[in-house]
Amino acid sequence: MLNELLALLQAGGVHRVDDLARELDTTPGLVELMLEELARLGYLEPLTQPCSAACEGCAMSGLCAAGTGSRGWAVRNREQGDKETGR
Amino acid sequence: MNSTNPQLPAPTERTVLVALAGQPNVGKSTVFNLLTGLNQHVGNWPGKTVERKEGQFSYNGTTYRLVDLPGTYSLTANSAEEVIAREFIIREQPNVVVAMVDAAILERSLYLLAEMVTLPAPLIVALNMIDVARQEGIEIEPEVLQAALGVPVVPMVATRNVGIRELLETIDGVVNGRIPCTPKAPQIRADHQKVLDEIKTLIDGCVPPPYPPDWVALKLLEGDEEVTRMMRQCLSEAQWQAVQHVLRAHDDALVAVAGGRYEWIGRMIRAAVTHPRPGQIGLTERLDRWATHPAWGLLILAGILGLTFLLTYALGAPLQTLLDRAVVGALADAVRAALAGAPAWLAGLLADGVIGGAGAMLTFVPILVIFFAVLGILEDVGYLSRAAYVMDGVMHLMGLHGRSFLPLFLGFGCNVPAVLGTRVIDSRRARLLTILLAPLVPCTARMTVIAFLAPAFFGRAATLVSWGLILLALLILALAGALINRLLFKGQRAAFIMELPLYHIPNGRTIGLLVWQRTISFLVKALTVILPVSVVVWALATLPGGGTEQSYLAQLGRWLEPVGRLMGLDWRLVVALLTSFIAKENSIATLGVLFGAGDETGLAATLAATYPAATGLAFLVVQMLFVPCVATVAAVRQETRSWGWTAFSVGFLLFVSLSAGTAAYWLARLGGIA
């Protein structure tokens, strides 16, 4: 299931946890757990979201990635992932 | 991984050793205190600063020694707590291990269990907090979970003393062999089973007791530091090299081992857990079938965007005109009348510079309030997240899914965080190019200017023009994004997980607060940035005397006018574009100063009467793609650390915006839009 999740993320784009859970025939909770695992193993690199005071007064904050509670990851290749975890 | 079938060690001297394991905050301490009462003592684990709690209790004539193991999320040697917990279970071989599990976050709790079932100790699962799980709509069938796990499961609510007696009976039953305990352990992914077998063969006979060889082989495959260190000392050099050779040849074994555990957790969840869906979720899903559909979702977004502008213009524009004529105009006249005896420059400064410039911005407040309110309603209802989701889909389709995606997406709010956001890009070349593209994203301030000037130039067609301008900006961005993705992010992918809230009835107070905060933020900007610039523009438009046409500003504007003429812009519009460099909204303030407050027709009507629609369109196109504000340029300088690249960025955007403006002007003229 972990591999299937990685394959789905490797296609890039935007996903919802609920959709991923549906595709993998499991629960959103387990998808969350697997995302954490893939990040821990170095296969996903969290993309930090810069925060700016400018966002506070921004009318479009709800429309941008920072305001929707979205999380971004870059999917790393296997060599990069293994390097991260010291293998 | 293979299935373990632990043999039950007989209790010695009628004292039974029980270990209490589980994650932090799962209710271990509550159960520990309930069972041992005051009969407990606290110390430290040998050589560690981790607290060790131990106590005693009696049940059915048997004395039990209960050890509370440190709270852990797994049994990999990531922390002292994890090493203590697993070493205790392996070395002390408790008669039974009670694994506390949080029913409300069962998946997370099951990960630890997936590791525990491979250890040689009889196991009982204490399924705690079933009341919380039930409140959250999670129904767990303990009997089914028990059958799937192969170990006894005791449902509990420890805080209310529910299930404690059943737990004691189960411990007694397992210890005395009345209740079977045959855990069904996770299996490693099939393609790695042979690798695991190979390692087992290589370490056969070398694993120091009481470590189970199967568990040691699995941990070697996982790269567990403690086990690797231990086996390095137990194996001969030739054996060690052979093991290393196998590990190096299967560098994805970690995912195979973890993947096996997640398959196992998935099976348990599928078997024993039901998540009933409340009606509200059903409604959200039904609406989302349309709102997040790749094609329908886009049409709905385009429709809602158009409706937003339509509402803003239909309700806001008349109010703006009224304010312009009745308040700003009247106020400017009153100031001129009151200062009739004062120096002319003072009346000019206040009436034209302050009221004409900043006042023009203030007349814009009704439009902004309506715009913010419509966006606030869309946000509070839960639609804006869907809009972002649908937009993501479009960008993805156009190939914009590299690391440049996130910073560019942030730019819709403000270009400054977009430029700062390029820090997520490793490659300097790719980062530089993304920085150059970030200002092409239409930010809120640009949208604000469009929202004011589109109805001024185009009246009823303003909605269509605004809609088209946003589409144009996105199209240019998408083309540029696709280009950099092809050139610089070959094969690299970025994935996003987006949380979409449930749709709900909007809350008036929340929206009101949102509109208030954003309006205040705009007014602060108007007073601190736009007003001083208006005064400077007024001074330049007044000095050295002899009227606006002979002013320094006019001289500067005329010097640049030949460029403006390519797209039908006179010196006033060129100067308005220039002042937008300080803040985008200054364009409006500058036009307010140059066309003077107190004009009975109002600024919007004056602009409409002065300029043909083709000029208006060209001005708006240039405004949409022009050099960003000074804050963004400063961010570009900061992030590129190069004045050369900063100048290039400004030059590039000048070229793009002026080219697009010229093209729009001539296309509009050819199309008969005079």
Residues 6 or more apart whose CB falls under 8 angstroms from that of B274 comprise B138, B139, B141
pLDDT at A20: 87
Chain A residues whose CB is inside 8 A of the B406 CB are 47, 49, 65, 72
Average pLDDT, chain B: 82
CB contact under 8 A, B254 and A75: no
**Would you say residue B240 has pLDDT above 60?**
yes
**Would you say residue A86 has pLDDT above 60?**
no
CB contact under 8 A, A74 and B405: no
Q: What is the CB-side half-sphere exposure of residue B417 using CA atoms within 13 A?
A: 24
Chain B residues whose CB is inside 8 A of the A58 CB are 413-414, 444, 518
**Would you say residue A80 has pLDDT above 70?**
no
Burial class (CB in 10 A: 0-12, 13-18, 19+), B173: middle
Complete DSSP assignment for B268-316: HHHHHEE-PPPHHHHHHHHHHHHHTSTTHHHHHHHHHHHHHHHHIIIII
Question: Are A85 and A41 contacting, i.e. CB atoms less than 8 angstroms apart?
Answer: yes
Chain B residues whose CB is inside 8 A of the A26 CB are 266, 269-270
CB contact under 8 A, A62 and B275: no
Chain A residues whose CB is inside 8 A of the B273 CB are 27
Question: Are A32 and B388 contacting, i.e. CB atoms less than 8 angstroms apart?
Answer: no
Alpha-carbon gap, residue B669 to B260, rounded angstroms: 67
Position B560: which residue type? L
pLDDT at B426: 64
Determine how many CB atoms are found less than 10 A away from the CB of residue B605.
Answer: 16
Alpha-carbon gap, residue B41 to B63, rounded angstroms: 16
Question: Are B592 and B603 contacting, i.e. CB atoms less than 8 angstroms apart?
Answer: yes
CA B173 from chain centre, in angstroms, equals 50
**Would you say residue B7 has pLDDT above 60?**
no
Alpha-carbon gap, residue B350 to B164, rounded angstroms: 80
Chain B residues whose CB is inside 8 A of the A47 CB are 403, 406, 424, 494
CB contact under 8 A, B266 and A30: yes
**Would you say residue A67 has pLDDT above 60?**
no
The DSSP symbol for B13 reads T
Tell me if chain A has a CB within 8 Å of the CB of B364.
Answer: no
Domain-wise residue ranges, chain B: 15-175, 190-274, 521-670
Q: What is the pLDDT of residues B159-213, one digit of tens each?
A: 899 999 999 999 999 998 899 888 898 988 878 888 888 988 888 888 888 899 9
Chain B residues whose CB is inside 8 A of the A55 CB are 413-414, 417
Q: In 3-state terms, what secondary structure has residue A6? A: helix
Tell me if chain A has a CB within 8 Å of the CB of B252.
Answer: yes
Residue carrying the six token digits 């009221």: B355
pLDDT at A48: 54
pLDDT at B12: 47
Chains A, B: CB contacts within 8 A come to: 214
Minimal C-alpha gap between A53 and chain B (Å)? 9
Average pLDDT, chain A: 69
CB contact under 8 A, A14 and B392: yes
Region of B187 (left: φ > 0; alpha: ψ -120 to 50; beta: rest) is beta
**Would you say residue B527 has pLDDT above 50?**
yes
pLDDT at B3: 36
pLDDT at B19: 94
Tell me the sheet residues that pair with B123: B97
Task: Indicate the pTM of the whole model.
Answer: 0.64
Residue in A2, A52, A61 closest to B416 by CB: A52
B55-64, B525-534, B559-568: segment of lowest average pLDDT? B525-534
Tell me which of B5 and B44 has the higher pLDDT.
B44
Determine how many CB atoms are found less than 10 A away from the CB of residue B666.
Answer: 15
Is residue B396 very low, low, confident or very high in pLDDT (cuts 50, 70, 90)? low
Tell me if chain A has a CB within 8 Å of the CB of B495.
Answer: yes
**Would you say residue B373 has pLDDT above 80?**
yes
pLDDT at A71: 63
Please state the rounded mean pLDDT for residues B137-142: 88
**Would you say residue B545 has pLDDT above 60?**
yes
Chain A residues whose CB is inside 8 A of the B420 CB are 50, 52
The DSSP symbol for B358 reads I
B181-195, B430-444, B535-549: segment of lowest average pLDDT? B535-549
The pair phi, psi for residue B98, each rounded to 5°, is -95, 115
HEC string of B104-131 equals HHHHHHHHHHHHHCCCCCCEEEEEECHH
Tell me the sheet residues that pair with B15: B12, B63
Residue in A25, A26, A64 closest to B410 by CB: A64
Q: What is the pLDDT of residues B288-343, one digit of tens each?
A: 888 888 889 888 988 887 888 788 778 877 887 788 777 777 887 888 788 877 77
Is residue B347 very low, low, confident or very high in pLDDT (cuts 50, 70, 90)? confident
Please state the rounded mean pLDDT for residues B344-359: 76
With CA atoms as reference, the chain B residue closest to A49 would be B421
**Would you say residue B661 has pLDDT above 60?**
yes
Chain A residues whose CB is inside 8 A of the B384 CB are 62-63, 67-68
Burial B252-265 (b: 16+ CB within 10 A, else e): bbbbbbbbbbbbbb
Tell me which of B417 and B437 has the higher pLDDT.
B437
Please state the rounded mean pLDDT for residues B569-585: 87
pLDDT at B597: 54
Position B360: which residue type? A
Question: Are B619 and B607 contacting, i.e. CB atoms less than 8 angstroms apart?
Answer: no
Q: What is the pLDDT of residues A2-27, one digit of tens each?
A: 888 988 887 766 777 888 888 888 88
Interface of B with A in 110-129 (CB under 8 A): 111
Tell me if chain A has a CB within 8 Å of the CB of B522.
Answer: yes
Share of chain B above pLDDT 70, in %: 88
Tell me which of B490 and B442 has the higher pLDDT.
B442
Chain B residues whose CB is inside 8 A of the A1 CB are 259, 262-263, 266
The pair phi, psi for residue B509, each rounded to 5°, is -65, -45
Tell me the sheet residues that pair with B62: B59
pLDDT at A63: 45
- CATH homologous superfamily for B15-175? P-loop containing nucleotide triphosphate hydrolases (3.40.50.300)
Tell me whether the CATH fold assigned to B15-175 matches the one assigned to B190-274: no
Is residue B8 very low, low, confident or very high in pLDDT (cuts 50, 70, 90)? very low
The arrangement of strands across the sheet holding B40-44 comes to B40-44, B51-59, B62-68, B15-22, B96-102, B123-128, B153-155
Q: Output Rg (C-alpha) for chain A, integer angstroms.
A: 15
The fold for domain B190-274 equals Helix Hairpins (1.10.287)
Q: Report the residue of A14, A15, A34, A70 to disrupt the B interface, i.e. the one with the largest count of B CBs within 10 Å.
A: A14
Tell me if chain A has a CB within 8 Å of the CB of B379.
Answer: yes
